Structure 1
Amino acid sequence: MLDWLAVWGISSAGGYLAKEVIGPLAKEALEDYTKDFFKESIKDYTGLSDQTTQKKLFGKALKEFVALVERELEDADLSKQELKQYTQPLKQYIKNQSIKAILGSAFKYGCEQIDTQTLANTWIELKLLPLPEEFRWKYIARQYLKQVHTIIRESDQLRTIRDSQTLDAIANNTNATAGIIPDFDLSTYQEALLERYGNLGLDSLDTNACAYNELKLWKIFIPQNVREVHDLMPSALHELPKDYYRKLVESGQLDREIDQEELKRAKEVYYQQPLKSVLDVIKDSQGYPYFVVLGDPGSGKSTLLQYLALNWARTDLNTALSLRIPLLIELRTYIRNRDSGQCNNFLEFCHQSSGSICHFNQHQLHDQLKAGKVLVMFDGLDEVFEPGKREDVITDINRFTNTYPKVRVIVTSRVIGYKPQRLRNAEFRHVMLQDLESKQIQTFIEKWHELTFTNPADKVKKRERLQKAIETSSPIRQLAVNPLLLTMMAILNRNQELPRDRSELYNQASRLLLHQWDVERALLEDNRVEPKTIDYQDKQQMLGKVAYFMQGNQAGLAGNLISGEDLERIIKDELKLREVTNPRAVAKVMINQLRTRNFILCFMGADYYAFVHRTFLEYFCAWEFVRKFEKKQEISLEQLKTEVFGQHWRDESWHEVLRLIVGMIDSNKAGEIIEYLMAQDGEEDRFGNLFLAADCLSEVRNRYEIQSTDTELLNCFKDLIHYDLNYDYDPYGYQANLVRDLHTQAVVAVATHWQDHPDTLPLLQKWARSDTDLFVRGTAIEQLALGYKDHPDTLAILQESARSDTYCYVRLRAIEPDRGT
């Protein structure tokens, strides 16, 4: 006997109403029900006469309908208890004869719409529990019809009889032949915007059945700050390697060669510009009638435009009519359709082109544009990749603003490759999206955990864990300023302990970005090469080789650039190892993808590529060393110690790589590396070997396995706290400052890396009360307040030091311990 709940896709992970409303039907005789349900459509499908097929399709369709109703109720912010009250009304509703006929009519051949009015009226006529005011029957009907089309298409019994894709093609062709003209239905446009952009786009992540994919963009959106850019793009140019900068000029991707002094002045002017909320800029329609929003990959440019469109779409239609209509045009879709002959300009694109969010009658749209009642948003100028076509699009935008001078216009673009002059000549102002600030990150984290966790204790625990990771780990903090990477971090924090498991964070974040690098699809679309499955591990190994090559370059890990020629060679060699036919052509297809979209590698211009964030360069470099050491056994432990750690421990640009390596290998081998670092003579390098060893110790997964090494390193820091030079020196000069810094850094290291060690708290208390070095006393007080604020003795020590210490510096640390951090 079939388990109908399993067949219908209703499990313990499903929605509450789906289980409660449809679950009981699995135990009932369904013949009479399915007979009414498929009354109008049974003649259209030869396979539909089978009772088992009817029951399968009926249950799947009904589940989708109830799920849509439940989602609409949830969007109205009903509590779980309020939601439960709709169980009995829904049971009564779906058994109504008219409702069964309407829901079943979606299976009818060529069905393009179902009777929305009767759906709404029947609920009222049955005198059921009133629905929220914003409940949208029209939206539910449209989505339900789409789900039924999918059910038909995926049914083995029906697919060969009626293919809904064929029906859509016939309908579109009929409409075009008949010259059917689209209307100007703003209500439908609002629904289309909510459907396209309403949910946060996290579907490519494995979210473990959490409700992330239903998370509404407008609930989690954080408005960023911007700075105005008057002349150049200094944040993008001032740190470019000279050879790369020269190639940008030679390839025409910069308007002109820029004098370094001029660049310096432009940078100073740029940072003198006041920070403004991007929403304040958008509100200032007089000051910013036309403007360009610039930003890095993942910085939130597209999200900003989607948020503006959704704000209007969620507004009551009567109110929305008094506001500017947000017309969101994705330029990569526009140029593709223009090239294929579907449209010649923006009005035709909105009128009839596929890919437009909703078709508008171009004559009525023209009237609205002339009256200045539209906010036009052109998203992704940088995603028009061919320079000639990009110039054509800019010409189209200029012509558009000349034709409709009252219209408000926003354009978004990445920085590199963008030439501002033509739009600046057309009176466009330019603003640069800034990194998220600490307060904005904090707000995002609070919103995220409030919206995605139901268990209060778990919510607080995970939120505080993520906040602490960002505060205490510099690499994680550097990632968190980017909205896309912060979102990844929040998802992964549910099951990962950060920052100790940050290598796993980088792994999971890279998996997402590599998943988006859909190589197989690109190969299918390119007729020149044979399709080949290139999975995540293949791509990971390629990136490991790329990072390994980059660290060996002249700039080493301090840089983050690789030429297209070198990148192609590395990918081609990896493809050869996998016996890929025509590896050079496949490599070119893969690299060409990087020009069309940012994955984990991005195109920088002038035939150069880079990791989207240097953190991924560091992670994949470490990953490749570990692979060579553990899996391939191409390097020995001795070589790892001497040729990797021995050559690079003095270079801070390598420290994150070295720490990641230690965290990814066996604990005992990690202990040997730490002992090697301890044995180095680091006195002339401010004992950087010991501080790096302590950082590496915190990466070791099982420190109890290397207890003797752990204790020996702790003793080194106890000695370092009282280190002094073996010669006389000026007590107020450079040497005195050097000694003082070593003492205080050693105190911080002990408090940080041995926080749970039984000796640490007594040591800090002793140093705070009686150490002869006033800076050691002050730093110990700060660390007690930071790491042991809830210990019963801490407050007493702070009060004693505030009253009794001889030095004002120490007293001030005791009164305001966070001032020195």
Structure 2
Amino acid sequence: MERGAEARRRFADWLHEVHVAAGTPSSDKLEASSRAAGRKGRALSSSGVQRLLSGKLVKAPEWEFVTAFLDACVACAPASAPVPAALVARPLWWNRHQQLVTVLATTRSPARSRGGQGDEPSDAHAVKTYARRVRESYGRLDLEVLTPDNDQSVQQKVELREVFVVPTVRADPPPVELSRELMVRLLQGEELAAEDELPPGLDLALLDSLVEAYRQRPPEHVLEVLAREENRRVVLLGDPGAGKSTLAHYLAMTLTADPDPCGPLAPLAGHVPLVVELRHYAQPAWRQTTFEDFLEHLWVTEGMALPRPTLSRLLGEGRIILVFDGLDEIFDPEFRAETARRIAGFAARHERCRVVVTSRVVGYQRKTLDGADFTHYMIQDLDTPRIHAFARRWFDTACPEQPALADRLFNRFKDAVAHSASVRELAGNPLLLTILAILGRRQTLPRDRHGVYQHAVTVLVARWDRDAKHLTTHLSGSVADALDALGQVERLEMLRLLARRMQEGAGGISGNYIPEADIEDVFRQYLQLCDIPPDVARRAARAMVQQLRERNFILARYGGGAWGFVHRTFLEYLAAADIVHRYEHEREWTPEALVHEVLLPRARDTTWHEVILLLAGQLRERDTGTLVDGLVDAAASGDLGERLSLALRALAEVKKIGVLAPQSTTVVDGITRVLGLESLRRGEYLTFGPSYLPVEAAAPALASFSEHWTGRGRFLAWFHVWGQFLPGPTAARLACALHRDETAVIAYARFTWSPGGRAAAVAELAARWSGSPVALETVRTCAVHDEDVQVRGTALRALVSATADTERAEELHAFLQDRAVRDPAPGPRKQALDHLLAGYPDDRTRRFFEQRAVHDRFDAVRAHAESLVDRLTWPDGDGGEKHEDARIPLFARQRALARLEGRLEEEGPESEAEWALTAWRSGRYRPLVELGEPFRPASVEKELALWLRNHPDDLRMLMRDVHRLTEDTLRSLSKALNRDVREYRPLSSFRIRSAALAIIGLAPGEDTRDFLVACARELPDDELRVEAAHVLAETQNDDPAVAALLLDLAQHDPVPAVRLSLVRSLARDCSHRPAVRDVLYTCAAGDPDADVRLHALNWMAQWWPDHPGWEALFGTDAPGGGQDERLLRLKALASGGRDEELTRALAAEPEAPVREQLRHVRLLQEAPERTARAVFRHRLLTGFGRLLKARRRAAAP
């Protein structure tokens, strides 16, 4: 009893502390305050207060009595000296109260035993026994169901608490079924298609309301939600595999293992969680019993509950958390509803008990538990940091004695999640994430992902309910027999046939929707092929559709009779599997027909890219080679970067990549041409943007190749000589992707010629080698010493990202302050101030901002620092401008504006093409001009081409306007329309007419060709002639007459600017033709214009070293020329490996800038280790030089 007395005394001391802090009010005053507050239940009494403060307690006081005392003390305290909030914090006192309850209950158990209950275990012993059984039952993950049948390796034992990642929840989100892909796009604010491209039953207004509902309910930590005092009754909804049962098991393990937990579960100290698996309670033997009876049964038979007396006492004390897991696993709708009513009744009988119910979303009826004051939350998909945390823990656990292997597997998995949208979509679901992790140890993601997807679909469709949950269908009779006869092979085949029907339907792969009747029709036909009678097959097909939605998490019902795959990834996998089956087993196509009739026509549709890539990994190497050849040929014909990127990614899917060495070389050469020539114009380098080559897709593909890949050396050789001089970051970023250690990338960060290239290398160092001291020191060096503002700013940002952990916080803070003061340019100084605000928003930073706002030597920095002081002082100020909803298509916003201005009837054009051409006819040219801009989406081009084909009058109108809309005509039209030109940004005649030419080129046919040929020859405006020639080169270069015209203009047009533009177009769009090569050689050798010669020389030097005329252009006896031409010849020698000739030519080169560029070439061509050492030698010399300058200045009088 000494322990009980000590607990009473300590509790009374804590109460005295609060009483004294309140000014020691009398017991009568406390009683009066309690009654005046109108508290629910029994108010304080004077005698009760005295017993509470004396510590003379037979049993622990009720929790409500303790809180009434605390509230009364706070109310009675003088206003000048209130009770500190920390003294009366509810979580603190809840923990203290539960400790007292536990100690007093334990110390009373011997007396009960002497009272004739000697065979009843004590409460503490019962809880301890139950805790042991919880560890035995829930402690280890059951991975057998998730592991493929053909995996014969010994599975590593994985403990739940070692890998569990706590999910987030949202309060009561709206019950709308969407595909995961569409939901992610909505929440990320991506632009959506027009309403007529959405699945039936969905519209933009509905989606807007859904997004707004999600924004108003931010994600919350689920354990914090469950521990709140107001959340004593909670329903957790979630998709299959979202981790509902796992969360219940984790909660039980955590609270039974540690009766005094810290962190978010601290308010639940002393609570005992019990888990009732409702699928077991739904068995006939228990349907007429109470939950208390069922829990007693679990105690007696499995030890997975508490003995009845202990349970009753803990229920009365409010120390039980009862988790009813899996309401959806009661298949009988009537008994499911009755069980919900029983749960509500149990919660009403035990008001102090906490109750949690879990259920899937689909099929859940909330009326009963809503009426019983249950709060509803929805478990969210895991975000990227949680996915990474799980993977890190998983591979550390799976490879306990192999840390290097665990690191490699984790990094490979993390890269797969980052670079594959399909893998990332699945990884948000904990069940599918676990499957990815299991298979990711022995298979390479994303290359082997089609096997992973097949296993994931199999688990969901044929194994999860049956093998993991041990659930059986609630169907009966002939329908049940029909579905029971379907094994996993048959179910996968049915889904494959469904994917085929979706490919052929209105929504296609991109829409991911299909009418419910079509799904039932596919399934019915298949079942009838299995000799199932038509009437049974029809009912079984309908039941199968519901099962795929309600149990298997494969299909979602959008509304309006439309259904789709929950995960687009499964649709893509099944579509690819169907094409492989039809090609290899049904022999539906020849290899050439598969590529040219099935795949290449769909390659311009980005929604088909993942299907094509999955196919590339499953087809035979020669078939994939045919596909890659087709993609490269299409790129050579004008569809540049997108096709080349897809070809590169297709190569990355092939395991025996050495078989496709010729294709590897061709693809790399195509990529380097895109990078080099799309930024070369009139002898100067200009950046046209990333649309020509999607680097976000190309870089991961390059990174997946080994160091022995044929294309690797070819690309790096080009980058060292040519690519490092391009202004943008793309070439350098791709080169970095080909290196697996940091030494070469360090050299790129310091010695790449262009600032954009150095900035890209710096960013790669920080992103991929943040744990390397050498890499981070290089980034710091670039942030301080690089001569370019862009590089210093990028290095600063990269350093913040890589060193944002607490261990380096102070070091980073000091470095940012140093850069904010000492950087020689205002831009990086302002960046440093911004990083300080983001990472250290405290008084110390505010004082630093105030100092910089007064003393910085740059006006812009002083003004920026002053604005940051205001943001720190008033952090809740105006959030800034409100922007238009980017998810609404541009033409929809334009149409809304036109209606407001009275220029459009309510029933107006619905497509972008129709809207833009309607506006054009009324003299408003901007909508169509913007549609005709470069980098327009393929869908817009297709829509415009279709419209012009069906409306030849509009095509003829555009042809007339190319000749008609001169500057004088535009001014006259503006006056005639009485238009205030100040309301509109002026459009030049050239811009309007060139847009018309580009759109005319989308309409195939002889009339279009003849019109463009005439424009290229006869228009008086040279720039418009060039535009017409460009359109011809892009769209009709296969036509012999067009090709002859372009070659003739490139050689003989009297205007140099026209010849230059034609040389560029031919090099970009027609370089696969031998005649084009000969023309370019002629221009390189003898065109009278220096810019034309330079461009043609650049092309010949980089990509045609095997041309018979190469020696005459670049060899020892080649003519001299200006500085730019000599530089090209030196680079050509360097790329050709002609070291002796290069050495002699360099010795004779008079210009230092030319020699300096060649020095950079040699720096990057050297071994990475030597170059990395040169980095630090260079920095050491620079440091010594600055030190000597400082000493000279100090010694100067």
Q: TM-score range by the shorter chain?
A: 0.5 to 0.7
Please tell me whether residue 675 in structure 1 is matched to residue 610 in structure 2.
Answer: no
Cα distance between partner residues in 2 of 1:403 and 1:458: 54
Cα distance between partner residues in 2 of 1:479 and 1:615: 8
CA contact (8 A) 2:645 2:693 kept: no
Please tell me whether residue 333 in structure 1 is matched to residue 280 in structure 2.
Answer: yes
- Report the alpha carbon displacement of residue 472 of structure 1 after superposing the two structures with TM: 3.0
2:741 maps to which of 790, 798, 801: 790
CA contact (8 A) 1:563 1:608 kept: yes
- Report the alpha carbon displacement of residue 667 of structure 1 after superposing the two structures with TM: 0.8
Q: Which residue of 2 aligns with 1:760?
A: 715
Cα distance between partner residues in 2 of 1:386 and 1:604: 25
CA contact (8 A) 1:200 1:212 kept: no
Alignment map for 1:34-113 (pairs within 5 Å): none
Cα 1:196–1:259 shift into 2, 3 Å: same
Cα distance between partner residues in 2 of 1:365 and 1:782: 64
Q: Which residue of 2 aligns with 1:447?
A: 393
Cα distance between partner residues in 2 of 1:705 and 1:190: 59
Cα distance between partner residues in 2 of 1:707 and 1:490: 32
How many positions carry a matched residue from both structures? 622
Q: Which amino acid aligns with 1:485?
A: L
TM-score with structure 1 setting the length: 0.65
Cα 1:722–1:804 shift into 2, 3 Å: farther
CA contact (8 A) 2:649 2:697 kept: no
1:372 maps to which of 318, 322, 340: 318
Q: Which residue of 2 aligns with 1:634?
A: 588
CA contact (8 A) 1:324 1:373 kept: yes
Q: Which residue of 2 aligns with 1:304?
A: 247
Q: Which residue of 1 aligns with 2:143?
A: 202
Cα distance between partner residues in 2 of 1:749 and 1:760: 15
Q: Which residue of 1 aligns with 2:570?
A: 616
Q: Deviations over 1:81-116 (max 9, x none)?
A: xxxxxxxxxxxxxxxxxxxxxxxxxxxxxxxxxxxx
Q: Which residue of 2 aligns with 1:277?
A: 221
What are structure 1's unaligned runs of at least 5 residues?
A: 1-180, 249-257
Please tell me whether residue 548 in structure 1 is matched to residue 516 in structure 2.
Answer: no
Q: Which piece of structure 1 moves more, 286-295 or 788-797?
A: 788-797
Q: Which amino acid aligns with 1:429?
A: T
TM-score with structure 2 setting the length: 0.46
- Report the alpha carbon displacement of residue 629 of structure 1 after superposing the two structures with TM: 0.4
Q: Which residue of 1 aligns with 2:790?
A: 809
- Report the alpha carbon displacement of residue 718 of structure 1 after superposing the two structures with TM: 1.1
Secondary structure of the structure 1 residue equivalent to 2:677: coil
Q: Which amino acid aligns with 1:636?
A: T
User: What's the % identity of the aligned pairs?
Assistant: 29
Please tell me whether residue 478 in structure 1 is matched to residue 453 in structure 2.
Answer: no
Alignment map for 1:117-266 (pairs within 5 Å): 185-204=126-145, 205-206=147-148, 208=151, 212=155, 214-229=157-172, 261=205, 264-265=208-209
CA contact (8 A) 1:522 1:590 kept: no
- Report the alpha carbon displacement of residue 442 of structure 1 after superposing the two structures with TM: 2.4
Q: Deviations over 1:317-350 (max 9, x none)?
A: 999997222121233433444xx66325433433
- Report the alpha carbon displacement of residue 299 of structure 1 after superposing the two structures with TM: 1.4
CA contact (8 A) 1:417 1:605 kept: no
Secondary structure of the structure 1 residue equivalent to 2:381: coil
Q: Which residue of 1 aligns with 2:357?
A: 411
- Report the alpha carbon displacement of residue 660 of structure 1 after superposing the two structures with TM: 0.6
Q: Deviations over 1:716-770 (max 9, x none)?
A: 1111113349999x999xxx65477649679848854767411233333445642
Cα distance between partner residues in 2 of 1:557 and 1:743: 21
Secondary structure of the structure 1 residue equivalent to 2:676: coil
1:570 maps to which of 522, 526, 530: 522
- Report the alpha carbon displacement of residue 642 of structure 1 after superposing the two structures with TM: 3.4
CA contact (8 A) 2:668 2:714 kept: no
2:618 maps to which of 664, 671, 677: 664
Cα distance between partner residues in 1 of 2:731 and 2:786: 13
- Report the alpha carbon displacement of residue 671 of structure 1 after superposing the two structures with TM: 1.1
Cα 1:201–1:228 shift into 2, 3 Å: same
CA contact (8 A) 2:178 2:558 kept: no
Cα distance between partner residues in 2 of 1:740 and 1:245: 26
2:609 maps to which of 655, 679, 683: 655
Cα 1:557–1:424 shift into 2, 3 Å: same
Q: Which amino acid aligns with 1:808?
A: V
Q: Which amino acid aligns with 2:239?
A: D
Cα 1:280–1:637 shift into 2, 3 Å: same
- Report the alpha carbon displacement of residue 656 of structure 1 after superposing the two structures with TM: 0.5
Q: Which piece of structure 1 moves more, 636-645 or 310-319?
A: 310-319
Q: Deviations over 1:600-634 (max 9, x none)?
A: 55788998765452212111110110010011102
Q: Which residue of 2 aligns with 1:770?
A: 725
1:343 maps to which of 279, 285, 288: 288
Cα distance between partner residues in 2 of 1:664 and 1:246: 31
Q: Which amino acid aligns with 2:493?
A: Q
Q: Which amino acid aligns with 2:437?
A: A
Q: Which amino acid aligns with 1:699?
A: E
1:493 maps to which of 425, 440, 443: 440
Bigger helix fraction: 2
CA contact (8 A) 2:174 2:213 kept: no
Cα 1:579–1:673 shift into 2, 3 Å: same
CA contact (8 A) 2:332 2:474 kept: no
- Report the alpha carbon displacement of residue 376 of structure 1 after superposing the two structures with TM: 1.5
Cα distance between partner residues in 1 of 2:523 and 2:165: 38
- Report the alpha carbon displacement of residue 596 of structure 1 after superposing the two structures with TM: 5.8
Q: Deviations over 1:438-482 (max 9, x none)?
A: 332222222222222244144343333323332332322222222
2:415 maps to which of 468, 471, 495: 468
Cα distance between partner residues in 2 of 1:709 and 1:211: 40
Q: Deviations over 1:671-723 (max 9, x none)?
A: 11122222226888664222222221211232222222221221111111133
Cα distance between partner residues in 1 of 2:294 and 2:135: 20
Cα distance between partner residues in 2 of 1:769 and 1:359: 69
Cα distance between partner residues in 1 of 2:122 and 2:667: 75
Cα distance between partner residues in 2 of 1:356 and 1:551: 51
Q: Which residue of 1 aligns with 2:1006?
A: none
Q: Which residue of 2 aligns with 1:436?
A: 382
2:598 maps to which of 629, 632, 644: 644
- Higher-Rg structure is 2
Q: Which amino acid aligns with 1:452?
A: A
Q: Which amino acid aligns with 1:794?
A: V
Q: Which residue of 2 aligns with 1:701?
A: 655
Secondary structure of the structure 1 residue equivalent to 2:741: coil
CA contact (8 A) 2:234 2:355 kept: yes
Q: Which piece of structure 1 moves more, 642-651 or 386-395?
A: 386-395
Cα distance between partner residues in 2 of 1:366 and 1:462: 50
Cα distance between partner residues in 2 of 1:682 and 1:509: 39
RMSD in angstroms over aligned alpha carbons? 4.6
Cα distance between partner residues in 2 of 1:355 and 1:572: 45
What are structure 2's unaligned runs of at least 5 residues?
A: 1-119, 187-192, 752-757, 759-781, 803-1197
Q: Deviations over 1:177-214 (max 9, x none)?
A: xxxx9998545543443444332122222485656474
Q: Deviations over 1:134-153 (max 9, x none)?
A: xxxxxxxxxxxxxxxxxxxx
- Report the alpha carbon displacement of residue 561 of structure 1 after superposing the two structures with TM: 4.7
Cα distance between partner residues in 1 of 2:174 and 2:713: 58
Q: Which residue of 1 aligns with 2:234?
A: 291
Cα 1:722–1:567 shift into 2, 3 Å: same
Cα 1:731–1:266 shift into 2, 3 Å: farther
Q: Which amino acid aligns with 1:290?
A: R
CA contact (8 A) 1:524 1:530 kept: no
